[in-house]
Amino acid sequence: MAGPFVSVLAASWPAILKRAPALLAAAEVLMAKSRRPVAPTADSDVEALRQRIVELETHQQAYADLVKQFADHITAVAVAAQASSLRVRQCFALATAGVCLGLLACVLVWLRT
């Protein structure tokens, strides 16, 4: 029988790992676009500067979306960890009660003999 921690991980990690390649691909595309060399422009080339600003805004939006995806996944992991913590506390309480009952049974058997 798998423990509660293992069952929570088994339930949450496949979903996280399933989305990991998409997150990594999006991060690689974003990094490739952001590392592209910027051609020097003259002061009078206002249209080129406007185009560059539009590209930067697009990259910033893509970065914000990527950060939101990471935050969503981190939240999912935190929720899974919290659920696991609750299950571990419940199991610990039940185990403690079982040990106490076992000790009580041993004491009763010892007193009757």
Tell me what the mean pLDDT of segment 37-60 comes to: 77
Which residue is associated with the tokens 């990527």?
66
Calpha distance 46→53 (Å, rounded): 11
pLDDT band at 1 (very low <50, low <70, confident <90, very high): very low
Q: In 3-state terms, what secondary structure has residue 2?
A: coil
More confident residue, 91 or 25: 91
Q: Which two tokens stand for residue 24?
A: 């990594």
- Which pTM does this prediction carry? 0.49
Assign residue 36 a region (left: φ > 0; alpha: ψ between -120 and 50; beta: otherwise). beta
**81: Cβ–Cβ under 8 A, 6 or more apart, which residues?**
8
- 52-106 residue pLDDT tens: 889 889 889 888 888 888 888 888 888 888 889 999 999 999 999 999 999 999 9
